[in-house]
């Protein structure tokens, strides 16, 4: 079961925009040593929308080679083109990833029935287990509870990452879903409470820079140990918030460079480096998290 602390992994980059494979290897090792449950590679935090399909596949292949089965790999498979989502799912399924993370189609503004047909078509074309990803603040598309429940009936749909931060959605959905359906928070600020209320884990941006603390917090939260989980989470709360002072993953890539987890803080256009005015703010949040 893919429960607990799953990192929404950044993609480290060289000055020329190519993937920094040396830093990528270091990140994988860092998360293995920190007891992270799984790596969500080339999701939206990984800047997947800037990758051509062949490059996307090669990066996932490289991560699998580095990991050597020591940590589960979830691969970004989402697209606003159903055909493209099918193609990438088929290719990554052959590589042996544990699951796909499939964001709702962005920009197109599909109807709720269109969303259902999108995911149904993917599961009919490929057996790769899929985790739905609902992040309306980024996509302009909000998946309804009714559609989640319908999609959960499809064998290949194994869970959902809900990044709305609305804890009432968890309590509304959970009674209507299979017991083994995975419910992930995609919002670090509410992730601890999400798990305490019955969620399966968190797919975390914060874990990029505080993996050990996030792993311990998730272990306590999943065990229902509120006091211990909350104590750690309170020390991380400033970081949960300040890693979003500019669009993700701008601040977290700067933070990874600040902690020497990566060689650079490079991003691909149209994203640019963290504005100087936020450096002290993010640095202070990192300092508060050290004792978590």
> In 3D, which of 156, 148, 157 has the Cα closest to residue 175?
148
Confidence of residue 238 (pLDDT cuts 50, 70, 90): very high
Instruction: Tell me if residue 133 is catalytic.
Output: yes
E strand or H helix at 173? helix 167-173
50 is in an annotated binding site: no
**Model pLDDT, residue 291:** 86
Confidence of residue 290 (pLDDT cuts 50, 70, 90): confident
- Whether residue 250 has pLDDT greater than 90: yes
Q: Where do the domains of the chain lie?
A: 4-225
Q: CB under 8 Å to 26, separation ≥6 — which residues?
A: 261, 262
- Rounded (to 5) percent helix, strand, coil in the chain: 50, 15, 35
45 is in an annotated binding site: yes
Q: Using CA atoms in the order 50, 28, 18, 99, what is the torsion angle rounded to 10 degrees?
A: -30
Instruction: Tell me if residue 94 is catalytic.
Output: no
E strand or H helix at 41? strand 38-41
pLDDT in tens, 16-34: 999 999 999 999 999 999 9
> In 3D, which of 189, 156, 203 has the Cα closest to residue 37?
203
**Model pLDDT, residue 292:** 84
Candidate list 91, 133, 184, 253, residue with the active-site label = 133
Rounded to an integer, the average pLDDT of 257-271 is 97
What kind of architecture, by CATH, is found in domain 4-225?
Alpha-Beta Barrel (3.20)
Confidence of residue 1 (pLDDT cuts 50, 70, 90): confident
Confidence of residue 104 (pLDDT cuts 50, 70, 90): very high
**Distance from chain centroid for Cα 164:** 13
The pTM (predicted TM-score) of the whole model is 0.96
Task: State the distance between the two ends of the chain, measured CA to CA, in whole angstroms.
Answer: 26
Q: What is the mean pLDDT of the chain?
A: 97
d(CA 101, CA 117): 17
pLDDT in tens, 46-83: 999 999 999 999 999 999 999 999 999 999 999 999 99
Rounded to an integer, the average pLDDT of 235-241 is 98
Rounded to an integer, the average pLDDT of 149-159 is 97
pLDDT in tens, 167-197: 999 999 999 999 999 999 999 999 999 999 9
Rounded to an integer, the average pLDDT of 124-146 is 96
Candidate list 91, 116, 119, 161, residue with the active-site label = 161
């Amino acid at each position: 079961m893919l429960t607990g602390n799953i990192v929404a992994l950044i993609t480290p980059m060289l000055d020329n925009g190519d993937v920094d494979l040396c830093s990528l290897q270091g990140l994988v090792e860092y998360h293995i040593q920190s007891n992270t449950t799984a790596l969500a590679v080339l999701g939206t935090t990984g800047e997947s929308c800037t990758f051509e399909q062949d490059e996307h596949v090669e990066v996932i292949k490289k991560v699998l080679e580095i990991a050597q089965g020591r940590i589960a790999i979830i691969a970004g498979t989402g697209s606003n083109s159903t055909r493209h989502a099918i193609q990438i799912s088929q290719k990554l399924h052959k590589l042996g990833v544990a699951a796909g993370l499939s964001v709702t189609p962005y920009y197109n503004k599909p109807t709720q029935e269109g969303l259902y047909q999108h995911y149904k078509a993917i599961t009919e074309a490929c057996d790769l287990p899929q985790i739905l990803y609902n992040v309306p603040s980024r996509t302009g598309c909000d998946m309804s509870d009714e559609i989640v429940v319908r999609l959960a009936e499809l064998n290949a749909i194994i869970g959902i990452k809900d990044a709305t931060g609305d804890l009432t959605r968890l309590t509304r959905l959970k009674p209507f879903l299979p017991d083994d359906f995975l419910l992930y928070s995609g919002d670090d600020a509410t992730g601890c409470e999400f798990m305490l209320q019955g969620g399966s884990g968190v797919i975390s941006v914060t874990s990029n820079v505080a993996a050990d603390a996030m792993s311990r917090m998730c272990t306590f939260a999943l065990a229902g140990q509120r006091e211990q989980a909350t104590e750690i989470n309170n020390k991380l709360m400033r970081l949960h918030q300040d890693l979003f002072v500019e669009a993700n993953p701008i601040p977290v890539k700067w933070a990874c460079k600040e902690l020497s987890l990566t060689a650079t803080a490079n991003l691909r256009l149209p994203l640019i480096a963290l504005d100087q005015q936020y450096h002290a703010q993010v640095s202070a949040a990192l300092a508060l998290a050290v004792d978590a």
